[in-house]
Amino acid sequence: MGVVIETVVWEPKPLLHIFLFCSSFFCVFLLPCMSTISNRTSTYLDLDSFSTSIPASFLRFQRSFLLVYSLASVMEGLESIYGEFEYAYYGLSKEHMVVSLCAGSVASLLIGTSLGILSDIIGQRKVCVLFCFLHLVVGFWKSVSRHPSVWMASICLSLASSIFSFGFETWMVVEHDKLGYRKDLLNDTFWLMAFYESASLIGSQALANWLIGGNLKRSVTFPSTAIVFLSTMSIIYIIRQWKESPPLTAIEGYKASISACFRGDKRVWFLAWAQACLQFSVAVFWILWAPTIVADGREVNLGMIYPCLLGARMLGSTTVPWFFSGPSPVRTEDCLLFAFLTSGFVLSIVAYDYQDIGFLVTLFCLFHACVGLILPSLARLRTMYIPNELRGGMISLSAAPASAVVLLVLIQKGYYQNIGNAVVMAFAAFGLFTAAGCMHLLKRWGKQPHHDVHKLG
């Protein structure tokens, strides 16, 4: 007589989704009641009302930027939501998947690094249009061809992701300064960027599921059609509505300026290393989170966990105005030191190979809450220590070490199978601990007194 073993597919309880999203919105809407200087932060989620101290033109500028940034986030999400399944749909083996991802990492390392420098020289708006154009090309290619070149798609999408990491933020900061708005207003835009990005990525999952419906194999190209539409609308909007500041420096002057910036200021190195460690740890997480959860053949509904992770990042971003507003705001370096230590400790536990799924999901949510706090906080520090005319180049150059190590991980772990998931996670955790050390040194050698942080954003 046969024995039937029933398997249970694990998925988070619906209350977790409700808790994360309700906590995020409570953080936003309760802040004005709890802060003595809430006239600045109370208006940004309620875009129909604003304080008299905030110019109406700034709110229009902020809305315009967040609209395009959200659309860009949706495009990034639609291209990555089905990942391995889409590769399999086009007939790729796991070895070919790894090779295509390596090609994308090489493109990010060799070309993506220079795109930030290029944006500072020719203007950020042109590079943002290039981001949309790359998505348009890939989306159109997938829509009309049954066998698109996965190599070329991986390269184009990797370059687009490189632009996404610096292009929109740099344009916003440069244009914000050109229009003469107060520096402290940048703080709220930074955390709103992280908030809207996370919300848009969740929305991209919902949109992809709606477009595909119940027939995944027949409708897998439908999200690509949506990307063609979104990228076309974004290009038209950017060209017609966004202004382009003239290049702030010539090519020769730029080389001298960025070289002097890196040679003469240790604080720039600290920021660059922290940014590189964050990008590497996030890349490692998205490569390994699913294999870690489904290890040993466990049945897990990954589609229900994905919004929990991004909901946690939304919640982390909403804590930023709580820390940095009020009569005695927390110093940015202190906050980042704690966040880097916490995220490093979380990945250390994961590297120890903890097996309980519920506990793993809790750790992953905690990691993303830290990421939601770190992203806008690092942007604040860049505004303090990096000249606007060098911002794009600094961010893209700091991504080079992360791209190089990700490429090494893909080759050694994905292709040759020489290292395990635990080793990669431990290496990412070590990087986060070193980033915490950079924040400690930055606090010692950074600008004093503390109120400079508030003035410069």
φ, ψ (nearest 5 deg) of residue 221: -85, -5
How many CB atoms lie under 10 A from the CB of residue 123?
Answer: 19
SS3 assignment, position 91: coil
Closest CA to 316 of 218, 195, 420, 183: 195
Using CA atoms, how far apart are residues 9 and 31, in angstroms rounded to an integer? 39
Q: What is the pLDDT of residues 77-114, one digit of tens each?
A: 998 887 777 777 777 778 888 888 899 999 999 999 89
**What pTM did the predictor assign?**
0.89
Closest CA to 440 of 265, 285, 266, 281: 266
Average pLDDT, the chain: 85
Q: 238-271: b or e for each residue (b if 16 or more CB lie within 10 Å)?
A: beeebebbebbbeeeebeebbeebbeeeebbbbb
> Highest mean pLDDT: which of 129-133, 218-222, 296-300?
129-133
Contact 379, 183 (CB under 8 A): no
Q: What is the pLDDT of residues 315-346, one digit of tens each?
A: 999 999 888 775 556 889 999 999 999 999 99
Q: What is the pLDDT of residues 407-416, one digit of tens each?
A: 999 998 877 7
Integer angstrom CA distances of residue 22 from 11, 352, 364, 445: 20, 32, 19, 39
Domain 57-456 has CATH 1.20.1250.20: yes
Give 405's strand partners: none
Q: What is the pLDDT of residues 114-138, one digit of tens each?
A: 999 999 888 899 999 999 999 999 9
